[in-house]
Amino acid sequence: MFKNKALVTGIGIGIIVGALLLQVMLIRPSSPSKSGISLEEMDPQKLKEEASKYYVVLEKNVKIYTQAELDTAIQKKLKEETDKLAAAKPSEQPKATSPTAPVKIVIYVQPNLDATAVADLLVNSGVITDRKAFVTELDKQGGNTKIQVGYHEFVGVTDLQAIVSNLIAKQQ
C-alpha cells in the first residue's frame, strides 16, 4: 500500500511509545510538596505556617484598613481626646508655668562653614526658625564671608539682625 515502509514503521512505533508514556504519566501519583506533606494531610496550623512563608496570612475576622480609613479613625480619636481634656476640670489641667529666665544657647562655628551650614546649625539649635530669612539678612549685612569662627552666645529670643551681628562681630 505505502511504498516507504520505514516511514510507516516509524509513525507506528511513535504512536505506541506515546501511548505508553501517557499511561505511565496517568499511573504515577502527583508529585509530593517540598516539605514532604501534601496539603490534604496538613492540619490548619501547619498549613498556616507554610503559607506564611510566602504570603501574609490573616484570620477571617481581622479587618484590614485602608490608609484613608486609618487617618479618619485617628482624627476621630484625637478629637475625642481633645474634647475630654477640654471638658476636664480646670484644677485637673496642668498649670501654666511662670515665665522663666531667658534660655542661653551657645553654638560653635567651625572653620570653613558657609552661610547655609551656619543656618542649619542655628535652626537645629533652635536659635532661628526660618533658614531663608537668615541667609537673606546675612546677605544684606554682607556677612557671608565674615562669619567669625568660635563660640557664639545667644540669650533669649533675638531678632535676625542681632543674630547676624553676633556672628559677624569679633569674639574676645
pLDDT in tens, 56-111: 888 888 888 888 888 899 899 999 988 888 887 555 555 555 556 678 888 888 88
For residue 1, pLDDT over 80 is answered with no
**Which residue's C-alpha cell is 479613625?**
73
Cell of 126: 533652635
* pLDDT, averaged across the chain: 82
Contact 160, 134 (CB under 8 A): yes
The mean pLDDT of 149-162, rounded to a whole number, is 83
- Please give the model's pTM, rounded to 2 decimal places: 0.41
